[in-house]
Amino acid sequence: MVQRVNYRRHNKYKTNSNVVKRIRTPGARLVLHNIKKVGKRPRCGDCKCLLAGISAVRPFLYKNLKHRNRTVSRPYGGSRCHNCVKDRIIRAFLKEEQKCVRRVVKEREKTKLVEKTNVKVEQKKKVKPDKKTKSTKS
């Protein structure tokens, strides 16, 4: 007859957190060993690709890992992949460049307006007719 085995923990249901494996001991007994869940590798928040250089463990075990196993030493290390970081840096640079270009264009427009108003004022000063000279009919 087959030897009966009991769960070692209180949970008696077949759930994802209560996975067990039958093991035969050297004394020829059958016992159940609880299997830990396998950790998923972290993924990039933007493109959802796997992150390189970060350990794949369950979330509560990250506190036991060394810092070098939890993260990568670059901006957004541990949450974004290298391609997405590169794209973000380029996008930020281009946005700053766009702001500078807008500022320069506004300054040029202001100087053009000032020049136009100065020219108009000068023309008005030159063209003003004299009120003293009157035309007489002969």
Decide if 55 is inside a domain. Answer: yes
Residue 56 has pLDDT above 70, yes or no: yes
CB atoms within 10 A of CB 99: 10
pLDDT, tens digit (0-9, with 9 covering 90-100), for 3-24: 899 999 999 999 999 999 999 9
Give pTM, 2 decimals: 0.64
Q: Is residue 70 part of a domain?
A: yes
Q: How much of the chain, in percent, has pLDDT values that exceed 90?
A: 76
Structurally, how many domains does the chain consist of?
A: 1
Whether 96 is in a domain gets the answer yes
Task: Note whether residue 80 is domain-resident.
Answer: yes
- The answer to whether residue 128 is domain-embedded is no
pLDDT for the residue numbered 112: 86
Integer Cα distance of 124 and 7 in angstroms:
102
Q: How far, in Å, CA of 55 to CA of 70, rounded?
A: 6
pLDDT at 129 over 80: no
- Model confidence over 71-96: pLDDT tens digits? 999 999 999 999 999 999 999 999 99
